[in-house]
Amino acid sequence: MRLLYNILFNIGFALSAPWYFLKMYRRGSWQAGFGERFGLYDAKLKQALTNRQVIWFHAVSVGEVNLCTQLIRAMEPLLPLHKIVVSTTTSTGMGLLRDHLPAHITKVYYPIDRRKHIQRSIGLIDPDVVILVEAEIWPNFLWSLQRRGVPYFLVNARLSERSFRGYRRFGFLFRDLFAGFEGVGAQTEADAERLLQLGCRKEAIHVVGSLKFDAAKLDDTLTLDITSLLGQLGVVPDSVVLVAGSTHDGEERILASMYLRLKPRFPRLFLVLVPRHHERGAAVGAELQALGVRYIFRKDMRPNTRHKSGDLECLLVNTTGELRHFYTRADIVFVGKSLTAQGGQNPIEPAALGKAVIFGPHMENFPDIAPNFVKANAAVQVADEAGLESALTRLLENPAERAALGQRAQTVVRENQGSIGRTVSMIMDVF
């Protein structure tokens, strides 16, 4: 079985490598740490880890990194003698790790799941425990941990119906890997039941809720002054700002067209578009230009340049790591990847800031969280483009309704916090 997996993986990697490397190139900053993806680390890393007890955290990309940083901050004071290593898969994830975690915490790229590269990585890092944050299950990595007797955990575990079917279909490959988890922090009872069916031991599963609620810090101090930044663009204090966060292909065009229809009725309306992948900025800019929307790229803003009120209609954010800052100035937030793409993005961040939140029908990545907000009348879910325009119109006409929606959203976030503490307790019990 393991031999067959490695043969198929090598074939699959060879076929997908051009697309994989092209994707890395388009996102930029791919050269830094490139060798780490193949288990090639510099001598400084080996020196830093020699004779140390190591805890290895893995967070795939941006969403998982945000959770991982909170978990590390909670656990680090409890383990003063341990060295923390945290890995990620994407360059944007690495950028966030470097921004949000201190220098004494080692950051590396996660190796691809070829046996040779995995063995090289684990042999050098030599972890005493591994904690996966919402991670995919990579067989060679977990097989290597099992051979070395390294305990491993899965936290903030959530299984969609599609993922569950896939893991169950290949149960002959994954069942022993799931059984090897020392602890699993499931988000819901439904997730716990699925994990049990996939092979996790009943005593290892703990229903702790979603770490995403704890990661949305209600009292966090943000460093970027968005009010002043937008003021440079002529956005006056009483403007109504619509922020579309983590949008995907097609959603920017829909929102920009909608903006042009709404602007005559609501002249103080200003649009901020934040594509999920910043490298799409040029393509989105071309769409805005074709529609006749007067916009500026975030990267093109200069500190000493000011625009008059009405000169611009849209800010197109082609940077990374700034979305939450823009949420602070939003009056209405549209959560992307929910209208023209499936899965949805995180609605908790704007909700924690007390914003009026709207999302589309496709929130499959948040199967319990999104309905929780809707049930509490703390967010608006729309079925299609027409429903989105209707919801936007209603909220633009009713500032009091916007405020009440945001207050209820913030209440939902508060009521669901505490998962990090429960997760830390689960892990420390094994320690």
pLDDT at 223: 72
Does residue 40 or residue 406 have the better pLDDT? 406
Mean pLDDT, the chain, rounded, equals 92
Does residue 62 or residue 101 have the better pLDDT? 101
| Spatial distance between the Cα atoms of 386 and 125, rounded to a whole number of angstroms | 53
Does the structure show a pLDDT above 80 at 21? no
Does residue 210 or residue 43 have the better pLDDT? 210
Does the structure show a pLDDT above 70 at 329? yes
pLDDT tens, 54-66?
999 999 988 899 8
pLDDT tens, 219-264?
566 678 999 999 999 999 999 999 999 999 999 999 999 999 999 9
**For residue 352, what pLDDT band results from cuts at 50, 70 and 90?**
very high
pLDDT at 337: 96
C-alpha 166: how far from chain center: 22
Residue 390 to residues 159, 351, 395, 398, Cα–Cα distance (Å): 33, 21, 9, 12
* Average pLDDT over every residue of 390-409: 98
pLDDT at 222: 66
pLDDT at 32: 74
| Radius of gyration for the alpha carbons in the chain, expressed in angstroms and rounded | 23
| Spatial distance between the Cα atoms of 191 and 294, rounded to a whole number of angstroms | 46
| Spatial distance between the Cα atoms of 257 and 8, rounded to a whole number of angstroms | 46
pLDDT at 4: 86
Strand order in the sheet with 380-381: 295-297, 314-316, 269-275, 240-247, 332-335, 356-359, 380-381
Does the structure show a pLDDT above 60 at 218? no
pLDDT at 229: 94
- 419 and 208 Cβ atoms separated by less than 8 Å: yes
* Average pLDDT over every residue of 154-166: 90
**For residue 180, what pLDDT band results from cuts at 50, 70 and 90?**
very high
User: How many of the other CB atoms lie within 10 Å of CB of 124?
Assistant: 15
Helix axes 139-148, 115-125, angle to 10 degrees: 40
Does the structure show a pLDDT above 80 at 31? no
**Domains parsed from the chain with CATH numbers:** 32-218+417-430 (3.40.50.11720), 226-415 (3.40.50.2000)
pLDDT at 9: 84
| Spatial distance between the Cα atoms of 116 and 132, rounded to a whole number of angstroms | 21
Place of tokens 């190139």: 25
pLDDT tens, 369-388?
999 999 999 999 999 999 99
SS3 content of the chain, % helix, strand, coil (to 5): 50, 15, 35
Segment among 171-175, 283-287, 390-394 with least mean pLDDT: 171-175
DSSP state of 263: T
**For residue 126, what pLDDT band results from cuts at 50, 70 and 90?**
very high
Six-digit token string for 7 = 């043969």
Does the structure show a pLDDT above 90 at 160? no
DSSP state of 304: T
List, in order, residues 6 or more apart from 145 with CB less than 8 Å away: 122, 127, 130, 152, 180
pLDDT at 224: 86
Does residue 321 or residue 390 have the better pLDDT? 390
pLDDT tens, 50-98?
889 999 999 998 889 989 999 999 999 999 999 999 999 988 889 889 9
CB-count exposure of residue 266 (10 Å: 0-12, 13-18, 19+): middle
pLDDT at 29: 64
| Spatial distance between the Cα atoms of 248 and 110, rounded to a whole number of angstroms | 26
* Average pLDDT over every residue of 15-19: 81
pLDDT at 28: 65
Q: By C-alpha distance, which of 323, 400, 317, 392 is closest to 358?
A: 392
- 326 and 317 Cβ atoms separated by less than 8 Å: yes
* Average pLDDT over every residue of 100-124: 94
pLDDT at 220: 62
